[in-house]
Amino acid sequence: RDLYGTMIHAGAVRSYLITTGRISREAREWAAGKSIGLIDGARLAELARAEPPRDEADVHAGVSIWPE
């Protein structure tokens, strides 16, 4: 919920919560219908094993850090 508040405050149109742990059913239900992507440890491991981007620009596309 803090992430969603920060997202609204910053005017972001999408955000991601990434954890090495698990995401509860309650958290998934709460995030449903909101523009928040949830990536748990199992999915993160899948992504880490996937083929890397073809060039560095693909890695940084759409990434922003807030607050700076």
Percent helix / strand / coil, the chain, rounded to 5: 45, 10, 45
Residue 67 lies in a domain: no
Query: pLDDT tier at 64 (50, 70, 90 boundaries)?
Result: low
Say if 68 falls within a structural domain.
Answer: no
What domain range includes position 40? 2-50
Let me know if residue 64 belongs to a domain: no
Looking at residue 11, its pLDDT comes to 85
Average pLDDT in the 4-14 region? 85
How many domains, in total, are found in the chain? 1
For the cut 70, the answer to whether the pLDDT of residue 37 exceeds it is yes
Residue 43 lies in a domain: yes
Phi, psi of 17 (to 5 degrees): -105, 120
- Residue 38 inside a domain? The answer is yes
pTM for the predicted model, two decimal places? 0.64
Give the pLDDT confidence score for residue 8 in this predicted structure.
84
29, pLDDT greater than 80:
yes
Domain assignment present for 57: no
Residue 7 clears pLDDT 70, i.e. is over it? yes
Distance from C-alpha of 8 to C-alpha of 43, rounded to nearest angstrom:
26
Q: Is residue 60 part of a domain?
A: no
